Amino acid sequence: MALLINEDCVNCGVCEPECPNEAISEGDDIYVIDWEKCTECVGWYEEAQCVEVCPVDCIPKDPEHVETQEELLAKKEALVDGQGSTVMPDQSKKLKAEYER
């Protein structure tokens, strides 16, 4: 099941860089989660990273997008395959910088 950001969001932006799938972005009024990219952090972390950092607790599960653990893991794998990499975005940048040194 993907997560969603509700209207209690205060637009602090803290959650955006924490998402391993780059599923969070700034919307017109509040931050939004692209459910097609949200894996509830399955495959990356034990806990949903956005929920961990959100100061106002405004990221519940999205009842419109119910998925099993297996489906979430498959989604994560597909996202990683799509990026052509199995390393985290920050790791990629670090590795690239080291390579170019």
Sole window of 46-54, 61-69, 78-86, 89-97 interacting with ligand SF4 (rule: CB under 6 A)? 46-54
Sole window of 1-9, 63-71, 81-89, 92-100 interacting with ligand SF4 (rule: CB under 6 A)? 1-9
**Residue 35 burial (10 A CB sphere; 0-12, 13-18, 19+):** middle
Residues 3-22 that bind ligand SF4 (CB under 6 A): 3, 5, 9-15, 18-19, 21
How far, CA to CA in Å, does 29 sit from each of 8, 42, 67, 82, 89?
Answer: 11, 27, 27, 29, 27
Instruction: Find, among 65, 55, 46, 62, the residue nearest to 11 by Cα.
Output: 55
Residue 72 found at the interface with ligand SF4 (CB under 6 A): no
Site of interaction with ligand SF4 (CB under 6 A) = 3, 5, 9-15, 18-19, 21, 23-24, 31, 33, 38-41, 48-50, 53-54, 56, 58-59
